[in-house]
Amino acid sequence: MKKCYFFVFLFIFSYTVMFGQWNKISMEKASSGGVITPVTYQMAVEDNKLYVATNDGIYESASANGGDWTPFGLQGKKVYLLNFEILKLALTIEAASDDATKFTLQLYKYNGSSWENTGFNAAKLSVFGAYPDNLTNFAQLQNGDDVVIILPTWGNGIWRSPDGGDSWIQVPYEDHPSNGYQFYRKIPGVFSFPGSNTVYALDKADYRMQYLSISTDFGQTWTHKEVDNFFNPWALYKQTIDGIEYLYYGGENGEKGYLYRSADGGNSWDASFTLGDGGLHNRRMIADERGKIYLLSGRGEVYVSADNGDTFQSLNSKAVVPQSTGTNNFYYSHLIILNQKLYLSTIAQGIYTYSLANSGLRSDNSDKLIISISDDQTELIVRTETGSKISVYSVSGKLIKTIIASNATSKLNIGDLGASVYLVKSLSMSGELSVGRFVKK
Protein backbone atom coordinates (compact mmCIF):
# COMPACT_ATOMS: atom_id res chain seq x y z
CA MET A 1 0.00 0.00 0.00
CA LYS A 2 1.21 3.49 -0.77
CA LYS A 3 1.97 5.55 2.31
CA CYS A 4 1.73 9.27 2.89
CA TYR A 5 4.97 10.87 4.12
CA PHE A 6 3.48 14.00 5.60
CA PHE A 7 2.92 13.40 9.32
CA VAL A 8 4.02 16.97 10.06
CA PHE A 9 2.23 18.04 13.24
CA LEU A 10 3.08 21.47 14.57
CA PHE A 11 0.72 21.00 17.48
CA ILE A 12 0.07 18.68 20.39
CA PHE A 13 -3.45 17.43 21.04
CA SER A 14 -4.93 15.98 24.17
CA TYR A 15 -8.57 15.13 24.60
CA THR A 16 -11.10 13.50 26.83
CA VAL A 17 -14.67 12.50 26.18
CA MET A 18 -17.56 12.51 28.63
CA PHE A 19 -20.40 10.26 27.51
CA GLY A 20 -24.15 10.68 27.78
CA GLN A 21 -24.45 13.94 25.86
CA TRP A 22 -26.79 12.64 23.16
CA ASN A 23 -30.37 13.95 23.31
CA LYS A 24 -33.30 13.21 21.02
CA ILE A 25 -35.05 16.26 19.62
CA SER A 26 -38.81 16.42 19.23
CA MET A 27 -40.18 15.42 15.84
CA GLU A 28 -43.59 16.98 16.55
CA LYS A 29 -45.16 19.17 13.89
CA ALA A 30 -45.74 22.81 14.77
CA SER A 31 -49.45 23.11 14.03
CA SER A 32 -50.94 20.14 12.21
CA GLY A 33 -50.49 17.68 15.06
CA GLY A 34 -48.67 14.38 15.12
CA VAL A 35 -45.04 13.77 14.33
CA ILE A 36 -43.13 13.67 11.10
CA THR A 37 -42.03 10.27 9.88
CA PRO A 38 -39.18 8.81 11.95
CA VAL A 39 -37.43 7.83 8.70
CA THR A 40 -34.98 10.70 8.26
CA TYR A 41 -32.15 10.95 5.78
CA GLN A 42 -29.89 13.90 5.04
CA MET A 43 -30.13 17.27 6.75
CA ALA A 44 -29.32 20.81 5.60
CA VAL A 45 -28.81 24.13 7.38
CA GLU A 46 -29.61 27.68 6.30
CA ASP A 47 -29.92 30.79 8.49
CA ASN A 48 -29.71 28.59 11.60
CA LYS A 49 -32.77 26.66 10.47
CA LEU A 50 -32.61 22.87 10.24
CA TYR A 51 -34.05 20.99 7.28
CA VAL A 52 -34.47 17.23 7.09
CA ALA A 53 -35.25 14.87 4.21
CA THR A 54 -37.83 12.20 5.06
CA ASN A 55 -40.11 9.63 3.44
CA ASP A 56 -42.74 12.37 3.43
CA GLY A 57 -40.88 15.25 1.84
CA ILE A 58 -38.78 17.98 3.49
CA TYR A 59 -39.49 19.54 6.89
CA GLU A 60 -38.09 22.72 8.44
CA SER A 61 -37.37 23.45 12.09
CA ALA A 62 -37.04 27.21 12.48
CA SER A 63 -35.46 26.79 15.92
CA ALA A 64 -33.22 23.90 14.80
CA ASN A 65 -34.26 22.26 18.07
CA GLY A 66 -37.33 20.37 16.85
CA GLY A 67 -40.92 20.60 18.00
CA ASP A 68 -41.68 23.32 15.46
CA TRP A 69 -41.43 21.27 12.27
CA THR A 70 -43.35 22.62 9.30
CA PRO A 71 -43.63 21.13 5.79
CA PHE A 72 -41.15 22.59 3.31
CA GLY A 73 -42.32 20.84 0.18
CA LEU A 74 -42.20 17.57 -1.75
CA GLN A 75 -44.57 15.98 0.77
CA GLY A 76 -45.52 12.47 -0.29
CA LYS A 77 -42.11 11.86 -1.89
CA LYS A 78 -39.09 10.04 -0.46
CA VAL A 79 -36.44 12.74 -0.29
CA TYR A 80 -32.99 11.25 0.18
CA LEU A 81 -30.22 13.84 -0.36
CA LEU A 82 -30.24 17.60 0.28
CA ASN A 83 -27.79 20.29 -0.81
CA PHE A 84 -28.49 23.93 0.11
CA GLU A 85 -24.99 25.35 -0.48
CA ILE A 86 -26.06 27.66 -3.34
CA LEU A 87 -29.42 26.58 -4.70
CA LYS A 88 -31.81 24.55 -2.60
CA LEU A 89 -31.65 21.11 -4.21
CA ALA A 90 -33.27 17.81 -3.24
CA LEU A 91 -32.76 14.34 -4.71
CA THR A 92 -35.76 12.03 -4.47
CA ILE A 93 -36.22 8.28 -4.94
CA GLU A 94 -39.39 7.52 -6.90
CA ALA A 95 -41.00 4.69 -8.86
CA ALA A 96 -39.52 4.36 -12.34
CA SER A 97 -41.71 5.06 -15.35
CA ASP A 98 -40.36 2.08 -17.31
CA ASP A 99 -40.68 -0.44 -14.44
CA ALA A 100 -42.87 0.31 -11.42
CA THR A 101 -41.02 -2.33 -9.39
CA LYS A 102 -37.78 -0.34 -9.64
CA PHE A 103 -36.60 3.02 -8.41
CA THR A 104 -35.44 6.13 -10.21
CA LEU A 105 -33.77 9.38 -9.13
CA GLN A 106 -35.25 12.84 -9.61
CA LEU A 107 -33.63 16.19 -8.78
CA TYR A 108 -35.77 19.12 -7.62
CA LYS A 109 -34.88 22.81 -7.25
CA TYR A 110 -36.58 25.33 -4.97
CA ASN A 111 -37.60 28.49 -6.86
CA GLY A 112 -38.44 30.60 -3.82
CA SER A 113 -41.99 29.40 -3.34
CA SER A 114 -42.21 25.82 -4.60
CA TRP A 115 -40.11 22.91 -5.81
CA GLU A 116 -39.72 22.31 -9.55
CA ASN A 117 -38.31 19.23 -11.23
CA THR A 118 -35.04 19.82 -13.08
CA GLY A 119 -34.17 18.29 -16.43
CA PHE A 120 -32.24 15.41 -14.85
CA ASN A 121 -33.62 12.01 -15.94
CA ALA A 122 -36.71 13.59 -17.45
CA ALA A 123 -38.07 10.19 -18.56
CA LYS A 124 -37.68 8.79 -15.00
CA LEU A 125 -35.79 5.74 -16.27
CA SER A 126 -34.94 2.98 -13.82
CA VAL A 127 -31.28 2.86 -14.89
CA PHE A 128 -30.77 6.02 -12.84
CA GLY A 129 -32.00 4.40 -9.64
CA ALA A 130 -29.75 1.38 -9.09
CA TYR A 131 -28.73 0.97 -5.42
CA PRO A 132 -29.75 4.50 -4.34
CA ASP A 133 -28.72 3.80 -0.73
CA ASN A 134 -25.12 3.74 -1.94
CA LEU A 135 -25.31 7.44 -2.82
CA THR A 136 -23.98 9.75 -0.11
CA ASN A 137 -23.45 13.22 -1.60
CA PHE A 138 -23.71 15.47 -4.65
CA ALA A 139 -22.15 18.88 -5.36
CA GLN A 140 -22.92 22.33 -6.70
CA LEU A 141 -20.45 25.12 -7.49
CA GLN A 142 -20.70 28.75 -8.59
CA ASN A 143 -19.15 29.34 -12.04
CA GLY A 144 -19.57 33.03 -12.79
CA ASP A 145 -23.32 33.64 -13.05
CA ASP A 146 -24.08 29.94 -13.43
CA VAL A 147 -24.50 27.16 -10.88
CA VAL A 148 -22.88 23.87 -11.88
CA ILE A 149 -24.53 20.76 -10.42
CA ILE A 150 -22.71 17.41 -10.42
CA LEU A 151 -24.68 14.26 -9.61
CA PRO A 152 -23.36 10.74 -9.01
CA THR A 153 -25.16 7.53 -9.98
CA TRP A 154 -24.36 3.90 -9.24
CA GLY A 155 -23.70 2.38 -12.64
CA ASN A 156 -24.80 5.25 -14.87
CA GLY A 157 -21.90 7.59 -14.27
CA ILE A 158 -21.43 11.24 -13.36
CA TRP A 159 -23.93 13.76 -14.69
CA ARG A 160 -23.17 17.46 -14.92
CA SER A 161 -25.47 20.43 -15.38
CA PRO A 162 -23.72 23.71 -16.29
CA ASP A 163 -26.91 25.77 -15.94
CA GLY A 164 -28.52 25.00 -12.58
CA GLY A 165 -30.29 21.81 -13.61
CA ASP A 166 -31.84 22.78 -16.95
CA SER A 167 -29.56 20.65 -19.16
CA TRP A 168 -27.36 17.65 -18.39
CA ILE A 169 -24.18 16.11 -19.83
CA GLN A 170 -22.75 12.72 -18.93
CA VAL A 171 -19.04 12.42 -18.15
CA PRO A 172 -17.63 9.81 -20.60
CA TYR A 173 -16.49 6.50 -19.13
CA GLU A 174 -12.86 5.44 -19.31
CA ASP A 175 -11.83 1.78 -19.49
CA HIS A 176 -9.80 0.41 -16.61
CA PRO A 177 -6.43 -0.79 -17.97
CA SER A 178 -6.54 -4.23 -16.34
CA ASN A 179 -10.15 -5.36 -15.89
CA GLY A 180 -13.65 -4.99 -17.28
CA TYR A 181 -14.56 -2.09 -14.99
CA GLN A 182 -14.74 1.54 -16.04
CA PHE A 183 -13.80 4.82 -14.42
CA TYR A 184 -16.53 7.42 -13.76
CA ARG A 185 -19.30 4.78 -13.84
CA LYS A 186 -20.03 3.62 -10.27
CA ILE A 187 -19.87 6.82 -8.22
CA PRO A 188 -21.32 6.84 -4.68
CA GLY A 189 -20.53 10.48 -3.93
CA VAL A 190 -19.38 13.79 -5.41
CA PHE A 191 -17.92 16.48 -3.10
CA SER A 192 -16.89 20.11 -3.35
CA PHE A 193 -15.57 22.44 -0.65
CA PRO A 194 -15.86 26.22 -0.09
CA GLY A 195 -13.25 28.38 -1.74
CA SER A 196 -12.24 25.85 -4.38
CA ASN A 197 -13.35 24.90 -7.90
CA THR A 198 -12.02 21.37 -7.45
CA VAL A 199 -14.56 18.54 -7.42
CA TYR A 200 -13.91 15.08 -5.99
CA ALA A 201 -15.73 11.85 -6.85
CA LEU A 202 -15.53 8.50 -5.07
CA ASP A 203 -14.92 5.97 -7.84
CA LYS A 204 -15.46 2.22 -7.56
CA ALA A 205 -13.61 1.33 -10.74
CA ASP A 206 -12.53 -2.10 -9.52
CA TYR A 207 -14.04 -4.84 -7.37
CA ARG A 208 -11.73 -4.04 -4.48
CA MET A 209 -9.39 -1.18 -5.43
CA GLN A 210 -10.97 2.23 -4.86
CA TYR A 211 -10.09 5.49 -6.60
CA LEU A 212 -10.48 9.21 -6.10
CA SER A 213 -11.50 11.06 -9.26
CA ILE A 214 -10.65 14.77 -9.41
CA SER A 215 -11.81 17.62 -11.63
CA THR A 216 -10.41 21.16 -11.51
CA ASP A 217 -12.69 22.61 -14.21
CA PHE A 218 -16.16 22.30 -12.69
CA GLY A 219 -16.54 18.65 -13.62
CA GLN A 220 -15.80 18.89 -17.35
CA THR A 221 -12.66 16.71 -17.32
CA TRP A 222 -11.44 14.23 -14.72
CA THR A 223 -8.35 12.34 -13.60
CA HIS A 224 -8.21 9.47 -11.14
CA LYS A 225 -5.85 8.42 -8.34
CA GLU A 226 -5.58 5.02 -6.69
CA VAL A 227 -6.42 4.87 -2.99
CA ASP A 228 -6.40 1.30 -1.66
CA ASN A 229 -8.00 -2.14 -1.61
CA PHE A 230 -11.36 -2.22 0.16
CA PHE A 231 -15.03 -2.58 -0.74
CA ASN A 232 -17.30 0.47 -1.17
CA PRO A 233 -16.19 4.12 -0.94
CA TRP A 234 -18.67 6.48 0.74
CA ALA A 235 -17.06 9.38 2.61
CA LEU A 236 -14.70 12.24 1.76
CA TYR A 237 -13.57 15.38 3.55
CA LYS A 238 -10.90 18.05 3.02
CA GLN A 239 -9.37 20.55 5.40
CA THR A 240 -6.15 22.51 5.84
CA ILE A 241 -4.06 22.15 9.01
CA ASP A 242 -0.86 24.15 9.54
CA GLY A 243 -0.77 25.04 5.84
CA ILE A 244 -1.09 21.44 4.67
CA GLU A 245 -4.22 20.41 2.73
CA TYR A 246 -5.40 16.98 3.83
CA LEU A 247 -7.85 14.71 2.06
CA TYR A 248 -9.71 12.05 4.07
CA TYR A 249 -11.32 9.07 2.33
CA GLY A 250 -13.43 6.29 3.85
CA GLY A 251 -15.93 3.55 3.16
CA GLU A 252 -17.01 0.01 3.86
CA ASN A 253 -14.96 -2.98 5.04
CA GLY A 254 -11.58 -1.29 5.27
CA GLU A 255 -9.42 -4.39 5.53
CA LYS A 256 -6.31 -2.19 5.49
CA GLY A 257 -7.69 0.82 7.34
CA TYR A 258 -10.93 2.60 8.02
CA LEU A 259 -9.87 6.14 7.14
CA TYR A 260 -7.32 7.03 4.48
CA ARG A 261 -5.47 10.35 4.57
CA SER A 262 -3.40 12.14 1.95
CA ALA A 263 -1.34 15.30 2.23
CA ASP A 264 -0.25 15.42 -1.41
CA GLY A 265 -3.49 15.71 -3.35
CA GLY A 266 -4.25 11.99 -3.40
CA ASN A 267 -0.94 10.74 -4.79
CA SER A 268 -0.14 8.76 -1.63
CA TRP A 269 -2.23 7.65 1.34
CA ASP A 270 -1.79 6.43 4.89
CA ALA A 271 -4.46 4.57 6.83
CA SER A 272 -5.83 4.67 10.37
CA PHE A 273 -6.36 1.28 12.00
CA THR A 274 -7.88 2.41 15.29
CA LEU A 275 -11.63 2.19 14.88
CA GLY A 276 -12.44 -1.49 15.25
CA ASP A 277 -15.56 -3.16 13.86
CA GLY A 278 -17.73 -0.06 14.21
CA GLY A 279 -15.59 1.78 11.69
CA LEU A 280 -16.26 -0.68 8.91
CA HIS A 281 -19.02 1.50 7.44
CA ASN A 282 -17.60 5.01 7.27
CA ARG A 283 -20.50 6.99 5.78
CA ARG A 284 -19.66 10.60 6.54
CA MET A 285 -16.78 12.80 7.76
CA ILE A 286 -16.96 16.42 8.91
CA ALA A 287 -14.76 18.69 11.04
CA ASP A 288 -15.30 21.58 13.42
CA GLU A 289 -13.56 24.95 13.34
CA ARG A 290 -10.62 23.58 15.36
CA GLY A 291 -9.96 20.73 12.96
CA LYS A 292 -11.36 17.84 15.02
CA ILE A 293 -12.73 15.19 12.66
CA TYR A 294 -16.08 13.49 13.30
CA LEU A 295 -16.73 10.21 11.56
CA LEU A 296 -20.15 8.61 11.14
CA SER A 297 -20.41 4.84 10.91
CA GLY A 298 -23.69 3.93 9.24
CA ARG A 299 -23.82 0.73 11.27
CA GLY A 300 -24.20 2.72 14.45
CA GLU A 301 -21.45 4.83 16.01
CA VAL A 302 -19.95 8.32 15.92
CA TYR A 303 -16.21 8.82 16.43
CA VAL A 304 -14.00 11.86 16.97
CA SER A 305 -10.32 12.44 16.24
CA ALA A 306 -8.38 15.32 17.80
CA ASP A 307 -5.09 14.39 16.11
CA ASN A 308 -5.89 14.75 12.42
CA GLY A 309 -7.27 11.24 11.99
CA ASP A 310 -4.35 9.47 13.59
CA THR A 311 -6.52 8.01 16.35
CA PHE A 312 -10.28 7.99 16.99
CA GLN A 313 -12.43 7.75 20.09
CA SER A 314 -16.10 6.79 20.29
CA LEU A 315 -18.71 9.37 21.26
CA ASN A 316 -20.77 6.47 22.61
CA SER A 317 -23.76 7.15 20.38
CA LYS A 318 -24.47 3.44 20.06
CA ALA A 319 -25.12 3.19 23.79
CA VAL A 320 -27.55 6.12 23.76
CA VAL A 321 -29.35 6.10 20.42
CA PRO A 322 -31.67 3.08 20.04
CA GLN A 323 -31.00 0.89 17.04
CA SER A 324 -34.10 -1.04 16.04
CA THR A 325 -32.82 -2.31 12.69
CA GLY A 326 -30.09 -4.70 13.79
CA THR A 327 -26.94 -4.44 11.73
CA ASN A 328 -28.36 -2.20 8.98
CA ASN A 329 -25.36 -0.57 7.35
CA PHE A 330 -27.21 2.69 6.80
CA TYR A 331 -28.97 3.06 10.16
CA TYR A 332 -27.15 6.31 10.91
CA SER A 333 -27.81 8.43 7.84
CA HIS A 334 -26.21 11.88 8.27
CA LEU A 335 -24.10 14.06 10.56
CA ILE A 336 -23.79 17.86 10.58
CA ILE A 337 -22.58 20.61 12.95
CA LEU A 338 -24.70 23.62 13.88
CA ASN A 339 -24.20 26.06 16.76
CA GLN A 340 -21.75 23.88 18.70
CA LYS A 341 -23.94 20.80 18.33
CA LEU A 342 -23.65 17.60 16.35
CA TYR A 343 -26.92 16.60 14.66
CA LEU A 344 -27.29 12.88 13.93
CA SER A 345 -30.18 11.61 11.78
CA THR A 346 -31.29 7.98 11.78
CA ILE A 347 -33.60 5.96 9.54
CA ALA A 348 -35.90 4.84 12.37
CA GLN A 349 -35.48 7.01 15.49
CA GLY A 350 -35.45 10.60 14.28
CA ILE A 351 -32.69 13.09 15.09
CA TYR A 352 -30.29 13.30 18.04
CA THR A 353 -27.96 16.10 19.14
CA TYR A 354 -24.66 16.13 20.99
CA SER A 355 -23.50 19.33 22.68
CA LEU A 356 -19.89 20.07 21.84
CA ALA A 357 -19.78 23.14 24.08
CA ASN A 358 -20.49 21.16 27.27
CA SER A 359 -19.32 17.71 26.30
CA GLY A 360 -15.94 17.72 28.01
CA LEU A 361 -14.36 17.05 24.61
CA ARG A 362 -11.45 19.34 24.11
CA SER A 363 -8.33 19.81 22.07
CA ASP A 364 -5.67 22.27 23.11
CA ASN A 365 -1.99 23.06 22.95
CA SER A 366 -0.56 21.30 25.95
CA ASP A 367 2.67 20.94 27.87
CA LYS A 368 1.94 17.29 28.66
CA LEU A 369 4.36 16.12 25.97
CA ILE A 370 7.69 17.90 25.45
CA ILE A 371 10.18 16.34 23.01
CA SER A 372 13.86 17.06 22.44
CA ILE A 373 16.88 15.27 20.92
CA SER A 374 20.40 15.03 22.29
CA ASP A 375 23.11 16.94 20.44
CA ASP A 376 24.59 13.73 19.03
CA GLN A 377 21.15 12.61 17.71
CA THR A 378 21.29 9.32 19.66
CA GLU A 379 18.71 9.94 22.41
CA LEU A 380 15.11 11.11 22.32
CA ILE A 381 14.18 12.93 25.53
CA VAL A 382 10.45 12.86 26.33
CA ARG A 383 8.84 14.76 29.18
CA THR A 384 5.33 13.54 29.98
CA GLU A 385 3.23 12.20 32.86
CA THR A 386 4.68 9.33 34.85
CA GLY A 387 3.03 6.07 33.87
CA SER A 388 2.25 7.20 30.34
CA LYS A 389 2.80 4.84 27.42
CA ILE A 390 5.25 6.47 25.00
CA SER A 391 5.29 5.17 21.41
CA VAL A 392 7.43 6.15 18.43
CA TYR A 393 6.09 5.59 14.89
CA SER A 394 7.56 5.96 11.43
CA VAL A 395 5.80 8.23 8.93
CA SER A 396 4.27 5.11 7.38
CA GLY A 397 2.56 4.28 10.67
CA LYS A 398 4.88 1.45 11.79
CA LEU A 399 5.41 1.15 15.53
CA ILE A 400 9.17 1.37 16.19
CA LYS A 401 9.62 1.71 19.95
CA THR A 402 7.40 1.84 23.02
CA ILE A 403 8.11 2.28 26.75
CA ILE A 404 6.22 3.13 29.93
CA ALA A 405 7.40 6.38 31.51
CA SER A 406 8.74 5.52 34.98
CA ASN A 407 9.64 9.17 35.60
CA ALA A 408 8.57 12.57 34.31
CA THR A 409 11.52 12.44 31.88
CA SER A 410 12.22 9.38 29.73
CA LYS A 411 15.06 8.69 27.31
CA LEU A 412 14.85 6.44 24.25
CA ASN A 413 17.80 5.29 22.16
CA ILE A 414 17.29 6.49 18.59
CA GLY A 415 20.82 5.99 17.33
CA ASP A 416 19.62 3.17 15.10
CA LEU A 417 16.94 5.28 13.37
CA GLY A 418 17.48 6.70 9.92
CA ALA A 419 17.12 10.34 8.97
CA SER A 420 13.38 11.06 8.77
CA VAL A 421 10.37 12.55 10.51
CA TYR A 422 8.92 10.45 13.35
CA LEU A 423 5.68 10.59 15.32
CA VAL A 424 5.54 10.34 19.12
CA LYS A 425 2.38 9.49 21.06
CA SER A 426 1.97 9.66 24.81
CA LEU A 427 -1.10 7.96 26.31
CA SER A 428 -1.57 8.83 29.98
CA MET A 429 -2.98 6.48 32.60
CA SER A 430 -6.20 8.55 32.54
CA GLY A 431 -6.58 8.04 28.78
CA GLU A 432 -5.39 11.44 27.54
CA LEU A 433 -3.50 11.27 24.27
CA SER A 434 -0.77 13.75 23.28
CA VAL A 435 0.90 13.67 19.88
CA GLY A 436 4.14 15.28 18.73
CA ARG A 437 6.90 14.76 16.21
CA PHE A 438 10.64 14.99 15.85
CA VAL A 439 13.13 15.08 12.99
CA LYS A 440 16.13 12.74 13.08
CA LYS A 441 18.95 14.20 10.98
- pLDDT digit string (tens) for 350-395? 999 999 876 555 444 345 688 888 888 999 999 888 888 898 988 6
User: What's the CA gap between 150 and 189, in Å, rounded?
Assistant: 10
CB atoms within 10 A of CB 300: 22
Phi, psi (deg, nearest 5) at residue 317: -65, -30
**pTM of the entire structure?**
0.79
pLDDT tens per residue across span 398-430: 788 989 888 888 899 999 999 888 888 888 877
User: What's the CA gap between 212 and 392, in Å, rounded?
Assistant: 31
Measured CA angle at 23 (ends 273, 283), to 5 deg: 35
- What confidence tier does 275 reach under pLDDT thresholds 50, 70, 90? low
> Which long-range contacts link 288-294 to residues 24+ away (Cβ below 8 Å)?
288/337, 288/356, 290/363, 291/239, 291/241, 291/363, 292/15, 292/361, 292/363, 293/237, 293/239, 293/248, 294/335, 294/337, 294/342
Question: Over the Cα atoms of the chain, what is R_g?
Answer: 23
Residues 422, 8 contacting (CB under 8 angstroms):
no
pLDDT of res. 327:
57
pLDDT of res. 192:
96
**Per-residue buried b or exposed e for 35-57, using 16+ beta carbons within 10 Å of the residue's own CB:** ebbebbbbbbbeeebbbbbbbbb
User: What's the CA gap between 374 and 379, in Å, rounded?
Assistant: 5
